Structure 1
């Protein structure tokens, strides 16, 4: 009888240890996913580049047709899969969800919330005659393809993104996570050949579009000019 009780006690002890280890592992794993997601979302410099790959003028419609290459970068500077969009006109904007955290977090360089987070939603151009041309970059309430983490819990990752999207409409969610504000921004520019347009984000600010001359070697690649 005593031997049986001893074995039972040992079994229960091992079971508790196993449960504790599993809970610890799950906590560490979820923290790793959270950190990875935030790192991919957060940036304080260049977040995307845009170049005009083709531009033509339609004399009949008296309008320019512009094809752009949109190349987004993650927080480590690694390029994601480029996207190509063709618009009638050359005034193009990029709609993005931008989340700013409380100033104190930014000031102290908080590891996860020390800088603004962003997510590109759409590229669009407004045309007075034909309305708006809109192309999706990321669909609302979905895990963005470019930010999916290999070998992680899909359910936990999905819940993280659900919370991210909730910041836009849920004031309580923003307050509990020390979010200063969450808003939709749409920086844009007039896009012409021969320039590289860089979309940047600041630690405590929003998005802006800068431009600079394209190196000659890239002009040859894109436009075939020597």
Structure 2
């Protein structure tokens, strides 16, 4: 049997990936080969989990049509923009709607459902991906209650309504959103990590387009499209 001098290095690379180094000649030792195979599988699983955690999905787009000064309006300006919800393939559901706000700061209010990390670790696409429902849009000089409504609480989001029908437990989560969110025991039994609202905001600039994205394991991000 050939002599071998194995060196196994398990460390954190790229936020959690595992690296295996083996020095020396390969051996036909079945136990060693099995261990190598197991470690290679662990590396593959860690890489999948990292990709899953980093995945972003575009769910809406904001296009600024016009921005003009108006001394008679709060903030001294008016911004007109279009908000488009996108389907899973990234295409708009419809032509979208145009909105107008005072000033240049736009808030996007949404309800978010985040699942337990164990579903991410097992690459469970159904329960591992965060879900989101857009509630309304409003400007910094506008009362949120007077904002532009998008979807209603209890309504199933269009982005999660495939033709073949949505998973029953997803529909139930949206239908009873606040019942679940305010009852830790029910949330825990459903495999949900958190249910809450969030309202990130972005400064709108004339001629700019913004992508609204949802991370698999987190909430909303807003990114300015590059030229």
TM range, smaller chain: 0.5 to 0.7
**Alignment match, 2:111:** 97
- Residues 1:193 and 2:206 are matched in the alignment: yes
Counterpart Cα distance in 1 of 2:170 and 2:124: 22
Counterpart Cα distance in 2 of 1:96 and 1:106: 22
Label 1:201 to 1:145 Cα distance change in 2 as closer, same or farther (>3 A): closer
Conserved? CA contact 1:96–1:186, under 8 Å: yes
Conserved? CA contact 1:100–1:181, under 8 Å: yes
Which consecutive residues of structure 1, in runs of 5 or more, have no partner in the other structure? 1-42, 215-226
Which consecutive residues of structure 2, in runs of 5 or more, have no partner in the other structure? 1-54
- Larger helix proportion, structure 1 or 2? 1
**Alignment match, 2:70:** 58
Between the two proteins, the alignment pairs up a number of residues equal to 169
Which of 79, 92, 97 is 1:83 aligned to? 97
Deviation at 1:148, TM superposition (A): 5.4
Where 2:118 maps in the other structure, the secondary structure is helix
Counterpart Cα distance in 1 of 2:224 and 2:165: 38
Counterpart Cα distance in 2 of 1:202 and 1:156: 21
Map Cα deviations across residues 193-217 of structure 1 (whole Å, 9 max, x no partner).
1211111111111111110245xxx
Deviation at 1:122, TM superposition (A): 0.7
Deviation at 1:190, TM superposition (A): 0.6
Q: Aligned-pair RMSD on alpha carbons? A: 2.8
**Alignment match, 1:221:** none
Where 2:120 maps in the other structure, the secondary structure is helix
Tell me which stretches of 4 or more aligned residues in structure 1 moved more than 4 Å.
130-133, 144-153, 155-160
Counterpart Cα distance in 2 of 1:184 and 1:206: 10
**Alignment match, 1:125:** 139
Deviation at 1:75, TM superposition (A): 2.4
Where 2:139 maps in the other structure, the secondary structure is strand
Map Cα deviations across residues 123-171 of structure 1 (whole Å, 9 max, x no partner).
01121xx645511011122344666566869x99975641455433332
Map Cα deviations across residues 31-81 of structure 1 (whole Å, 9 max, x no partner).
xxxxxxxxxxxx832111101112221134461111111111122323223
- Residues 1:48 and 2:44 are matched in the alignment: no
Counterpart Cα distance in 1 of 2:173 and 2:184: 17
Conserved? CA contact 1:194–1:213, under 8 Å: no
